[in-house]
Amino acid sequence: MINAVYNGANITLAVLDNRTTAMTGHQPHPGVGITALGNVSKAIDIADVVRSCGVEYVKIVNTVDPDSLESCIKAAKEAMNFNGPSVLVFKGKCVGITKPDKYYKINPEACTGCGFCIKELGCPVINLDGDKPVIQDNCSGCGLCAQICLQKPSV
């Protein structure tokens, strides 16, 4: 980011802050505010770090409200229209932490078989069964498919 500011690069950096280290076991990191020994510590704020590099356009985007997909797209468009380096911090807890008790399934009556969820989303628990997708039992309940499907898969 320092180089981007220094050279006036017209880029947008997206930070996906899921409040954990999800890919390697959900251990804490300096942005979380809990040390590896479980002690409370001062959390490093990603937006502050970016601002300290001289970035003028920094926005935190909440990803957990029901309209989050649209607000994320709007925020991304605005940041990309900014002349100069811009940073978005998309912030929301990983479903591996929140463990929603809500799982999704596709209503075969409503599904048009457009295939958008298979081709564009790439969720590993959505598979084709004939010409219609089905959601397997190990759905994590993240709700992303419900946001992108125009037919809204039902719970």
Taking CA atoms, 147 is separated from 20, 52, 69, 108, in Å, by 23, 35, 7, 17
Q: Is 143 in the site for ligand SF4 (CB under 6 A)?
A: yes
Nearer to ligand SF4, 1 or 106 (CB): 106
Q: Of the ranges 43-51, 72-80, 86-94, 122-130, which one interacts with ligand SF4 (CB under 6 A)?
A: 122-130
At a CB cut-off of 8 Å and minimum separation 6, what does 147 contact? Answer: 68, 69
Which of 68, 97, 113, 154 touches ligand SF4 by CB under 6 A?
113
Which of 115, 127, 129, 130 touches ligand SF4 by CB under 6 A?
115
Nearer to ligand SF4, 48 or 120 (CB): 120
Total residue length of the chain: 155
Sites for ligand SF4 among residues 50-109 (CB under 6 A): 104, 106
Q: Please tell me the count of residues contacting ligand SF4 according to CB under 6 A.
A: 24
Nearer to ligand SF4, 92 or 143 (CB): 143
Positions touching ligand SF4 (CB under 6 A) are: 104, 106, 111-117, 123, 125-126, 133, 135, 139-145, 149, 151, 153
